[in-house]
Amino acid sequence: MNGSAALAGAPWDGLVAEFRKVILKMRPRADAELIERACDVAARCHEGQLRRSGDPYITHPVAVATILAGLDDVAELDDQTLCAAVLHDTVEDTPYTMAALRREFGARTAAIVAEVTALDRLGRRPARNPAQVLTTITSADTRVVAVKLADRLHNMQTLQFLPQATQLRKAREVLDTYLPVAQQLSMHTVRSELQALACAALIRNQPLRPPRRRVIVALDIESSTSRPDPVKAELRTMLYELFDAALRSAGIGARRRSRFTDRGDGLLALIDPANQARLVNLVLPAFGQLLTSYNANLPHPDGRNRQLRVRVVIHAGNVHDDDNGYFGEALDAAFRLLDAPLVKAALREAHGPFLLVGSANADDSGAPYGPDRVGYTASHRPITAEVAGRQYRGWIHIPTETA
């Protein structure tokens, strides 16, 4: 394929030529000529602009498009999306107009750029509400959201060149807004790297309270996002009440654990390691019984739609916290184990109302939380999850009966 004649001798021709090779390797059927032309236009529009790192600005949109090209978990990505990624800052940051973009690259590419620009402006409003921003992003076209996530990922990769206050703000935005979005789109690789980069920025840029070792218990409701809003709200309320009742029945009151943290479709509880044995031997069996009783007493005919089926993970490690909440690699590992596709599939196959994922370092002594440490009859399946390049092992425990 011949490159554009306009590229010959241009200062950015080597970058664009390398990008074309990457695109053709990752997506052999891509219209490399079209994408190369978008790079030529973007490079000319951004000529003379530099990033905080001192790199030519064109390196950013090319990096965003490269991230997108490597994603295998977003089926909607196409040539127009890659063009939009390359051009996503031109209309807002250069004299290039939306009319020119639409004329040269078509209405679909222009629409994606326009929506990405709108999301950028929404996030910069001083009185922005994270929940409102999250709702707006998740309601956007999947291709638009994918471009925005790739844009934020590259910005996080180069975060060290920004002022400290900006680093902290952007890291917290990732945890509050972009991780749930990436999870909803099943963009697990992007989610994992965003989470690692955000936590690293928080640890690097602010004085922290000393980390505390905690038993991490996270719970998620099966298929909660597909329920009507009133039903979803009822399920979340019941999950809080039933798990709190199970903890109290084992003598683990508010002073022996943190306040529950909302996870959207579930909750997070951090528990004093001294209560590990009670958690395993008393709380989980009681929780299983309470779930079974709740589901059995649901009214018909919509009782099935209101049933509680729950995935639970137990992990342990050092947890950081600041005024905005909890974070750290131990939490990342717990969530990745909980959200693994194998775990979700196992719950769909299970007859009971919940299953447990125990990590390989779930107890405070460092002993593996393996099949021999389950306090009730269960079947077991090994599982692994990766966080920041490290492998975490665990087991899926599917209770066959409660104690």
Residues assigned a catalytic role: 92-93
Q: CA distances (Å), 298 to each of 223, 258, 380, in order?
A: 18, 30, 30
Residues 331 and 313: their CA atoms lie apart, in Å, by: 11
DSSP 8-state secondary structure symbol assigned to residue 260:
P
Q: Where are the alpha helices (DSSP H) in 46-163?
A: 59-69, 79-87, 90-93, 98-105, 107-123, 130-138, 142-157
Residues 75 and 143: their CA atoms lie apart, in Å, by: 9
**Neighbouring C-beta atoms of residue 242, cutoff 10 Å:** 20
Residue 204, class by beta-carbon neighbours within 10 Å (0-12 exposed, 13-18 middle, 19+ buried)?
middle
Contact 373, 367 (CB under 8 A): yes
Contact 35, 17 (CB under 8 A): no
Q: Is the peptide bond before 126 cis (omega within 30 degrees of 0)?
A: no
